[in-house]
Amino acid sequence: MKADIHPDYHEIKVQMTDGTVYTTRSTWGKPGDTMMLDIDSTSHPAWTGGPARLNEAGGQVAKFKKRFGSFGLKK
């Protein structure tokens, strides 16, 4: 590797939403910093099986169907 062109790669701690902490290496922050996550695999609906985005955004789906409903597949 060329000298002085790469970011500093050091150990940081990552704290999940449930309080679990693990150590990893990253270019984020300073050595020893703690990254506190707002969303992770223990709280995100994609991993927990929670409500799907389409259910939460029914208004957007209805708007799409209203706008493009006439382009439906012919049977």
* Domain regions of the chain by residue span: 1-38
pLDDT for 66:
81
Which residues in the chain come in under a pLDDT of 50?
55
Q: What is the pLDDT of residue 53?
A: 56
Per-residue confidence (pLDDT) for residue 71, from 0 to 100 = 79
Number of Cα atoms under 13 Å in the Cβ half of residue 4:
0
CA 17 from centre of chain:
13
pLDDT of the residue at 70: 80
Strand partners, 11: 25
The pLDDT score that the predictor gives to residue 40 is: 86
Q: In 1-75, at which residue ranges do the beta strands (DSSP E only) sit?
A: 10-15, 21-26, 34-36
Predicted model pTM: 0.56
Decide: helix, strand or coil at residue 12: strand
Which phi and psi (to 5°) does residue 24 adopt? -145, 175
